[in-house]
């Protein structure tokens, strides 16, 4: 059988429809979208069409869409932009309470490491406890905000909508409401949720929301930060007036066109894809459970608040790295967690934050499915697991 790709949370194949939409802007319509002539105006019109397409799909206004190079930049702009804007607003006034950033230990490295960097720059950091699934509950956020209030003024809460390693879904709307009640803005990283769960800027009631194209059949190097009108934000990249002055630099027109098309397709086809992927995922879990009776699910189990196509599976007595290699040699492509940390020697920070021991975290592997996977592939993977896990 050809290679079975089960690492869709890391990246997805480029949808041919997205590639077709991008192609003209890689060749004949190559203009700088900020140039006044026809070639530039055509590129500019394509960028604005993509902005409107993204806004329509995600229930926001076009001027609330700020294009970025991906989810990591969007997260950086959200955290740095808000915290620096809050500090700037305090300049010249009598010294006030410290501005506190609240997040969790189960966030994507783009949030975790940015928050840690901000802490080194003088912004106190408070981590909300995550549950055994990898999500943050309202009660956990309330406790974290209480601790933040003892230090200073909570300025921003950043909690992901769907965990990239376990697939756990957070109650984002309720978390946003709680943050607002304490005077803090709310940011959610929706990179993994988009196309797999309902993502609506208005319904979540977030102030900022991050997305990325390459997780939904779009190109790498394209993303966006949705910013509620009126939200104070300092640009992370200066040197131009592009993107309402919040992101200097010439816009990557083909990538932005691809993002708009990918977002529209992901939202329109979400329900059908979710049903298909869920059926495949449960087939895989049922077959894998028979092949490996000692296997355990890290995160939400069947029926929990979770993404349909993500399983983080623990194989007691086995090294996740060894399993990854053995599966790869048989054409099954999976991962140990976030792609940016998958080659690191240390165990997953998400699984550790959930309460797993280092040994348990090191024996875990993530399987993340996409709509192009098949039943035959799921059966093949289960057979391979049985072979790989046979007594050594």
Just list the catalytic residues. 340
Residue 329 structure tokens:
């040699």
Residue 235 structure tokens:
């640009």
372: left (phi over 0), alpha (psi -120 to 50) or beta: alpha
Q: Helix or strand or coil: residue 251? A: coil
Using DSSP bridges, classify how beta strands 153-158 and 223-227 pair: parallel, antiparallel or unpaired. Answer: unpaired
d(CA 36, CA 380): 56
Q: How many CA atoms lie within 13 A of 273 on its CB side?
A: 20
Beta partners for residue 22, in sequence order: none
Q: How many CA atoms lie within 13 A of 138 on its CB side?
A: 11
Q: Report yes or no: 215 and 12 within 8 Å, Cβ to Cβ.
A: yes
């Amino acid at each position: 059988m050809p290679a079975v790709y089960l690492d869709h949370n890391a990246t997805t194949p480029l949808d041919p429809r997205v590639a077709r939409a991008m192609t003209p802007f890689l060749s004949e319509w190559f203009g700088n979208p900020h140039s006044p002539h026809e070639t530039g105006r055509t590129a500019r019109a394509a960028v604005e069409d993509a902005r409107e397409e993204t806004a329509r799909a995600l229930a926001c206004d076009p001027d609330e869409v700020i294009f970025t190079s991906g989810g990591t930049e969007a997260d950086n702009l959200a955290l740095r932009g808000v915290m620096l804007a809050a500090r700037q607003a305090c300049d010249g006034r009598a010294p006030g309470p410290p501005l506190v950033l609240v997040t969790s230990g189960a966030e994507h490295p783009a949030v975790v490491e940015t928050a840690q960097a901000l802490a080194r720059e003088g912004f106190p950091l408070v981590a909300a406890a995550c549950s055994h699934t990898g999500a943050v509950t309202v009660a956990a956020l309330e406790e974290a905000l209480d601790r933040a209030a003892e230090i200073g003024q909570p300025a921003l809460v950043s909690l992901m909508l769907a965990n990239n390693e376990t697939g756990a879904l957070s109650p984002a709307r309720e978390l946003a409401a709680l943050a607002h009640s304490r005077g803090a803005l709310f940011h959610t990283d929706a990179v993994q949720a988009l196309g797999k769960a309902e993502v609506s800027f208005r319904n979540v009631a977030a102030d900022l929301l991050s997305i990325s194209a390459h997780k939904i059949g779009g190109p790498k190097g394209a993303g966006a930060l949705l910013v509620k009108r009126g939200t104070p934000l300092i640009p992370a990249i200066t040197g131009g007036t592009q993107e309402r002055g919040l992101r200097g630099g010439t816009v990557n027109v083909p990538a932005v066109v691809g993002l708009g098309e990918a977002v529209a397709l992901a939202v329109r086809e979400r329900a059908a894809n979710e049903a298909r992927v869920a059926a495949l995922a449960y087939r895989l879990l049922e077959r894998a459970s028979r092949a490996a009776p000692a296997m355990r699910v890290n995160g939400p189990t069947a029926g929990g608040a979770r993404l349909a196509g993500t399983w983080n599976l623990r194989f007691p007595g086995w090294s996740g790295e060894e399993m990854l290699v053995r599966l790869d040699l048989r054409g099954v492509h999976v991962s140990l967690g976030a792609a940016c940390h998958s080659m690191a020697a240390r165990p997953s920070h998400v699984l550790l934050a959930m309460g797993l021991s280092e040994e348990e975290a090191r024996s875990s592997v993530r399987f993340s499915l996409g709509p192009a996977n098949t039943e035959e592939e799921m059966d093949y993977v289960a057979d391979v697991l049985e072979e790989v896990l046979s007594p050594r």
